[in-house]
Amino acid sequence: MLNTRSDLLGVLRQFNPWWRGERQSGLPDWKRAAFGELKQWVRNPPAPRAVLLSGARQIGKTTLLLQTIESLLAEGVPPGQILYATFDHPLLKLAGLDGLMDLWREVEPAQPGPEFVFLDEIQYTKDWQTWLKHQVDFQKHRRIAVTGSATPLVTEGQESGTGRWHTVRLATLSFYEYLQIKKVPAPDLPEVGSLQKLRSWSTADFGRTAEAAKPLTGHFHDYLLRGGFPQCALVDGVVAAQKLLREDIVDKVLKRDMTALYGVRRVLELEQTFLYLCLHDGGLLDMADLGKNLQVKKPTATNYIALLEAAHLIHRLMPFGYGKEILRGRSKVYLADAAIAPSVLLKGKSMLEDAAAMGAAVETAFFKHIFTRYYQQSVGFSYWRGKKDQEVDIIAGVEGRLVPFEVKYRNQATGWAELKGMVEFCRERMVSLGYVITREAGDFGIMERELEPGVTLQLLKIPAPLACYWLGKSEITAQSP
């Protein structure tokens, strides 16, 4: 191939404008909650490791890398000590990892001090696991951050990657981040770093906060319809946002990434499987029913489910319990973002009048918030189903204690009659605190009930917009729920 070297250098210079004294243009002012964690690991790593930024397509991984670079330049890091490249570009993929390093140092000679390497879509390169391991082990002066798909980065490389990289998981925008991007004025709400703090509130505290939080409801519904992908949040109109999510994000994952990364050949079957999950968002996964409806064999369907989870399009919760309870139980599936189902199913704003669809969307949104907020603490998540089909939506295992959550997004107040599953679970497991996620701003406060002599159950009822707002705002502090 003629002029490949000069072409490669030209591409590299375009991706690194700071080498020629220019700054990046078009970066947003707002920053994700994950920015602080990424910056810490790049600037002052707590351990000698690379950073793996993992998340779905179009979720903002590249923007986070470029914002980190901008921050380093502002702190006085020499421009020639910073390299950015994306292996989505065919020429850079052709150069390979070592070739890229050689080209960099031909253009920008090394200087004393740390070097900062930012590589997008590293899974498209050959033997990236071995290369990254050697870099961490033998190039101590290099601080490396990479992005890419979960399965090639985590599953295939987990043996060689043990202790070699720190994973930063990036979910879709939290409700708090969504409001920031939309430049919605911050409501006058009290700071709540941990939901447990609400236990000390008075009735007047709940009333004042409920009144102040009322404007959040409309924005929360818009958030459920548009989704937490940054591009979708910023386009004009819900229909355009859902079209973008459906065509530019979901379709590309199913039709391009699954073929390129995982070798999926029967794309139609994969699409049908995903459509089935959209119709059952937040529900129990019935593999027999899925196979019967789609005429797909169980091993094939099971493989598709695993691939969709690896691509960050879904989360799976196993039933609460031990041993056979888990093995015999069905998993519960949440989509990665509440707006995926209405976008794929072409619901538009009609979802707001569909009580069942709204309930599923809110449960999905809340699970994403609670999962994202606490995943670094190795919190285990499950759901509980009793003998009489009583259920608790989400169970978090936190530092040896169980924290149950039930989502009741309904127009009327939620009382004990609607929470029989929660009461039964707490009685069986001697749990004294649970959370109920409600709809109405006025359905906010504490319920108490004696389970047995000397044992009192407290349930904190929190409107969904408030719960998601507080969880998103305090995500970076990683306190316990």
Ordered domains of the chain (ranges, CATH): 4-170 (3.40.50.300), 176-477 (no CATH)
**Which pLDDT score, from 0 to 100, does residue 84 have?**
97
Mean per-residue pLDDT, 359-381: 88
Q: Which residue, 327, 379, 331, 33, is CA-closest to 172?
A: 33
Chain centroid, CA 303 distance in Å: 22
Per-residue pLDDT tens for 292-307? 888 888 888 889 999 8
**Which pLDDT score, from 0 to 100, does residue 153 have?**
44
| Banded pLDDT at 256 (limits 50, 70, 90) | confident
Residues in a beta bridge with 434: 459
**Which pLDDT score, from 0 to 100, does residue 223 have?**
97
pLDDT > 60? residue 86: yes
Per-residue pLDDT tens for 195-254? 999 999 999 999 999 999 999 999 999 999 999 999 999 998 999 999 999 988 888 888
Per-residue pLDDT tens for 384-437? 998 888 999 999 998 788 999 999 998 888 999 999 999 999 999 999 999 999
70 vs 265, more confident: 70
Per-residue pLDDT tens for 305-317? 998 988 889 999 9
Q: How far is residue 64's CA from residue 275's CA, in Å, rounded to a whole number?
A: 31
Q: What average pLDDT does the chain have?
A: 88
What SS3 string covers the chain?
Answer: CCCHHHHHHHHHHHHCHHHHCCCCCCCCCCCCCHHHHHHHHHHCCCCCCEEEEEECCCCCHHHHHHHHHHHHHHCCCCHHHEEEEECCCHHHHHHHHHHHHHHHHHHCCCCCCCEEEEEECHHHCCCHHHHHHHHHHHCCCEEEEEEECHHHHHHCCHHHHCCCEEEEEECCCCHHHHHHHCCCCCCCCCCCCCHHHHHHCCHHHHHHHHHHHCCHHHHHHHHHHHCCCHHHHHCCCHHHHHHHHHHHHHHHHHHHHHHHHHCCCCHHHHHHHHHHHHHCCCCECCHHHHHHHHCCCHHHHHHHHHHHHHCCCEEEEEECCCCHHHHHCCCEEEECCCCHHHHHCCCHHHHHHCHHHHHHHHHHHHHHHHHHHHHHHCCEEEEEECCCCCEEEEEEEECCEEEEEEECCCCCCCCHHHCHHHHHHHHHHCCCEEEEEECCCCCCEEEEEEEECCEEEEEEEEEHHHHHHHHHHCHHHCCCC
Q: What is the pTM of this model?
A: 0.90
**Which pLDDT score, from 0 to 100, does residue 160 have?**
45
